[in-house]
Structures are given as C-alpha cells and as structure tokens.
Structure 1
Amino acid sequence: MRFMVIVKATADSEAGVMPSEELLAAMGQYNEELVAAGVMKAGEGLHPSSKGVRVKFSGSQRSVVDGPFMETKELIAGFWLWEVESLQACIDWVKRCPNPMPGDSEIEIRQIFEAEDFGAEFTPELREQEERLRVQMSKT
C-alpha cells in the first residue's frame, strides 16, 4: 500500500523559518531509516504558501490566486511518499518521526489510489496508458 504522509504547515513554516541544524540532522537520520527499510519512495519540504499560487476552476474558467493563503492548518509544509504493508505500519513509522516543527505539529496520512481501486471504469486502455506513463516517468 502506498501512502502520502503530509507534514502540516505551522505559523513558523509559513513565515519561512528554516529548521535547525539539529532537526535537519534528526530528519536526515529518520529518512535514512525509511530508505534502508524500503519504505520511502520520495519526500520533500515545500516553500511557504507566500511563494505559491492556486489555480481555481469554475466550469471552463481558470483564475490564479497568489499566496499567501490564510488557513495555516490546511496548508502543507512537506510530504513523503511511502510504501508499506498497511495503514498501521504507516502510523507506526510516523510515530517514530522527529517532531517536524518546533512546538506543536501535525502529520496527516492519506492512502494513494491504486489502479484496482477504480473498478470497471478504469478500462484496459486506460490501464495501459497509466503503465506507459509510469515507465516514462521512471526514466526521467
């Protein structure tokens, strides 16, 4: 099972406060453990929302809204992509994580859809396209 593990933003991360050397070292060690266990597939920190934009869709119309975005609790400061055998295994790994932010912080776990989750609507042609795209992405 694949999961996106989402580090929620805080007022400090949104203000552009960078992690301490101690936290960077602890996270580096934690990431080493994840990679050695075959769990971590990707992971990155994100710039504050003040450097981002949102594209809003309304029918065929598109509009761009510049950051920063007000609801810090709804924002993402970073993420990992993990592959583990269960949600509980993912939870167990998250519990071992160093606190990603000074003070209070939160990590959200969301399972990633797999092809079989889509049922009959995901036709053989669409499955073939998906596989072809995954192969192409793995080569870059």
Structure 2
Amino acid sequence: MKYMLIMRATDEAFKTMADVDFTEMIETVGRFNDELIRAGVLVAAEGLDDAAEGVVVDHGSEVPVVTDGPYGETKELFGGFYILNVASKEEAVEWAKRAPLTGPGFKTEIRRVTTIDEMPQDNEWIKKERAWREATGQL
C-alpha cells in the first residue's frame, strides 16, 4: 500500500528553520531519506518552494480567482511530501514518527494513496488512464 506523508508546519515553525544551517538540515533529511531507501519503502519525496512564490486558484465562484502567495490566514503550510510503499498504515505512522524536522508547529499528515484498481474498471476515463499508465510503465 502506498501512503503519502504530508509535511506541514505553521508559519512560526518555518521561521525557526531559517536559523538552522542549511547543510546541517540537508544532512539530517538525507540520513532519513537514506533509511527509507535502504528499507525499500521510498517511492517519492519532494520539498516545496516558499509559499510566497505560490498561487492559489479558488474555485469558490463561477470564475476561478487566482491569488498570489503568501496567504492571508495560513495556519499550516504544506512544505513537502514523501510517498512510501509500506505494508500498513501503522508502518507509515512509524516512519512519520522518525521524520527529521520536528518541534512545535510541525506535523505530518498521513493519507493512503488510492490506486486505479479501486476505480470502476468499466469507466471509459479509467480505461484511458490505465492504458496511459501501462504505456508509460506505471503499471
């Protein structure tokens, strides 16, 4: 089963990271990533650029509204993610507990990644997606 570990932090928590030596942070995260690789569970991992560089497309009105970052009432920002292929949610939780960026304001949300096999296989769009995934080596 695949699980996504969504790395979240408050604005204040991100500010505390500004004081951490970047090389030290890379070493810490790198060691954790290496553990995931050696355990054979890492599928993908990416960090995200500063929220101030992002945009939000709000679909709450008939014409979508695009707003530049930073965002006005942010309580938590999505800073990066891991996708792990593990045997259970409990195993995903155990990996999340070991994540290297911790402290007040840091959280990891864990969500199972659904598969195309869970979708209605007789749907024309699912058939097209399955064909694309097979052609690109994803299935």
TM-score range, shorter chain: 0.7 to 0.9
Q: Is the 8 A contact 1:49 1:68 kept in 2?
A: yes
Structure 1 residues 123 and 111, CA gap change in structure 2 (3 angstroms): same
How far did residue 54 of structure 1 move?
0.8
Q: Is the 8 A contact 1:55 1:64 kept in 2?
A: yes
Whichever residue aligns with residue 110 of structure 2, its letter is I
Q: TM-score, normalised by structure 1?
A: 0.79
Q: Is the 8 A contact 2:10 2:76 kept in 1?
A: no
Q: Is the 8 A contact 2:53 2:70 kept in 1?
A: yes
Q: Distance in 2 between matches of 1:18 and 1:78?
A: 19
Deviations 1:75-120 (A, max 9, x none): 201111111111001011111222x15x3211110111122433x4
The answer for the alignment partner of 2:107 in structure 1 is 106
Q: Distance in 2 between matches of 1:36 and 1:45?
A: 20
Alignment map for 1:43-82 (pairs within 5 Å): 43-58=45-60, 60-82=62-84
Structure 1 residues 134 and 71, CA gap change in structure 2 (3 angstroms): farther
Whichever residue aligns with residue 126 of structure 2, its letter is R
The answer for the alignment partner of 1:33 in structure 2 is 35
Q: Distance in 2 between matches of 1:51 and 1:15?
A: 19
Q: How many residues are treated as equivalent by the alignment? A: 135
Query: What's the % identity of the aligned pairs?
Result: 33
Q: TM-score, normalised by structure 2?
A: 0.79
SS in 2 for 1:80: strand
The answer for the alignment partner of 2:26 in structure 1 is 24
Whichever residue aligns with residue 6 of structure 1, its letter is I
Whichever residue aligns with residue 55 of structure 2, its letter is V
The answer for the alignment partner of 2:116 in structure 1 is 115
How far did residue 26 of structure 1 move?
1.6
SS in 1 for 2:64: strand
Q: Is the 8 A contact 1:5 1:110 kept in 2?
A: yes
Structure 1 residues 53 and 16, CA gap change in structure 2 (3 angstroms): farther
